[in-house]
Structure 1
Amino acid sequence: MATNGPDTKATKPTSNTRPSLKRKLNEYLKSSDTVEIFVGPELTKWTLNEELLCDRIPYFKAAFKNGFKESKDKKLELPDDNPEVFGHLVEWLYMQQVGCTVCEDFVNRPSRKEEENPNHVLPWARLWVLADKLGCEELMSWAEKKFTYCMGRVKFGVSPEVISFVFEKTLETSSLRISFTRTFVHLFFQSSSYPDTFGEAAAANKTFNAEFLKEIKAHVGEKKEYCFIYGCTLHEADD
């Protein structure tokens, strides 16, 4: 059966390891060489193009191209990861994008209630963490943009679960954590009213609460001409 992957720990990628699409997708698909990835407790299986996977994601290149057991078996397990989130990775791998069915499905537009689901943004945070683990800087950047875009759609509907996940699964200096806090501050100063869940969300994590209050204090102390928040209820109230 499959193994748990290479012994080497995936590290945060640098500019020298950033993956790229070295060939057009149709060129990759001319090859019949595939690998099997088993994800989650139930080991959901994906059969993926080996060259495409290895060219774009450093972790898999290390597993399948550097003489590990996986390079012979062509199988690898990720039992601790989420199959739904890995599915987003697969879509990105082949399509170079993944649309949010809640925010961006203009044909089958969901109800406003669904759009404001407080866990709406959680899959993109999970995808960022998975991409970080796999050393894929390109996907990290993509997931972060998706996360902040969707966060703007749900306003303060972000759940305590989302906040706890971001601050428990990322480092203090991670771009996702920084983007999350800044976006939350932007939304705070762009709103004249807040849902009942706002206080609960803000208190979900002590570290987040401290960083959020620090950013609030810093913005209050800024001069109007340096305000970078569109529609700021603090600085534009003086007009």
Structure 2
Amino acid sequence: MDELVTILVKGTLTSKKFKVHKGFAVHYSPVFKSAFNSSFKEGRTQTYELEDTTKGAVQLLVEWIYTQKLDLNGLEEEKTWDAQCMCLANLWVLADKLLMRSLQNSAMGKLETLCARHHWIPVVILNYVYDNTQKKSQLRRFLLYKCALKLDAENYTRFPEEFPKEMLLELAVYLIEAMDDLPDKSKFPKFKISDYEVPES
């Protein structure tokens, strides 16, 4: 019988332990493999501690290890669409740290499914994503594309606190580069200096 290891989610108020068969954990994560087979604390205790994530994200990770599927219906706290999107963003970041590329892609696919179902972009996750990912990460690129394609000007003025400065700069560059690739620029407004003059009367 394969031995069990523990993934411990440490929170500010409460912690939660998830038991996983070691063979599954080390098969899907090189980080788990290195940690649980080392002479360091993780190897001696067969416990891996996580602090910068959520219980929901780890619950999805453990379920994915066994099934390669993500079922958001089983989440205890993340019932709203915004909360589920945030949970998937946490999961993507966690999978990135654990070098679980297939899980990252599963999380991305599920996030796209939620966006398509609700016809909306989860702007509530933008600050978290930009605080926890590297420049030009696939998750950032995905969100930039979605924002450029789906959001109108009112979205940016109504929810300015949801858009990190770094993201807005990247979005400006993204849109400029996209415009440069357009074969027909005739729809872009023609320049007239009178449009920018101050009315004198």
What's the TM-score, normalizing by structure 1?
0.64
C-alpha offsets along residues 205-228 of structure 1, whole Å, 9 cap, x if unaligned? Answer: 111112223323333444369xxx
Q: CA deviation at 1:84?
A: 1.1
Q: CA deviation at 1:137?
A: 1.7
Q: Distance in 2 between matches of 1:68 and 1:86?
A: 22
SS of residue paired to 1:80: coil
Q: Flag the structure with larger Rg.
A: 2
C-alpha offsets along residues 157-202 of structure 1, whole Å, 9 cap, x if unaligned? Answer: 523x3111111111112111111111222324xxxxx595443446
Q: Does 1:199 align with 2:157?
A: yes
Which of 155, 167, 179 is residue 208 of structure 1 equivalent to? Answer: 167
The structure where helix makes up a greater share of residues is 2
Q: Does 1:173 align with 2:125?
A: no
Which residue of the partner structure matches residue 122 of structure 2?
158
Residue type of the alignment partner of 2:57: V
Q: Distance in 1 between matches of 2:85 and 2:41?
A: 36
Which of 142, 147, 155 is residue 184 of structure 1 equivalent to? Answer: 147
Q: Distance in 1 between matches of 2:157 and 2:122?
A: 11
Retained in 1: the 8 A contact 2:54–2:87? no
Q: Does 1:38 align with 2:8?
A: yes
In structure 2, the CA distance between the partners of 1:216 and 1:195, relative to structure 1 (3 Å rule), is: closer
- Larger RCO of the pair (alpha carbons < 8 Å, separation 6+): 1
Q: Does 1:142 align with 2:114?
A: no
C-alpha offsets along residues 39-58 of structure 1, whole Å, 9 cap, x if unaligned? Answer: 13222011110111011111
Retained in 2: the 8 A contact 1:148–1:180? no
Retained in 2: the 8 A contact 1:158–1:201? no
Retained in 2: the 8 A contact 1:33–1:49? yes
Residue type of the alignment partner of 1:171: Q
Q: Distance in 1 between matches of 2:181 and 2:48?
A: 51
Q: Distance in 1 between matches of 2:102 and 2:71?
A: 16
Which of 61, 64, 89 is residue 36 of structure 2 equivalent to? Answer: 64
Q: CA deviation at 1:61?
A: 0.8
Name segments (4+ residues, structure 1) moved above 6 Å: none
Residue type of the alignment partner of 1:89: L
Q: Distance in 1 between matches of 2:102 and 2:68?
A: 10
Q: Distance in 2 between matches of 1:84 and 1:119?
A: 10
Q: Distance in 2 between matches of 1:100 and 1:198?
A: 29
Retained in 1: the 8 A contact 2:31–2:99? yes
Structure 1 gaps of 5+ residues are 1-30, 102-109, 189-193, 226-233, 235-239
Retained in 2: the 8 A contact 1:37–1:75? yes
Q: Distance in 2 between matches of 1:152 and 1:43?
A: 34
Structure 2 gaps of 5+ residues are 74-78, 188-201
SS of residue paired to 1:153: helix
Provide the aligned C-alpha RMSD in A: 2.8
Q: Distance in 1 between matches of 2:49 and 2:117?
A: 35
Q: CA deviation at 1:62?
A: 1.1
In structure 2, the CA distance between the partners of 1:182 and 1:135, relative to structure 1 (3 Å rule), is: same
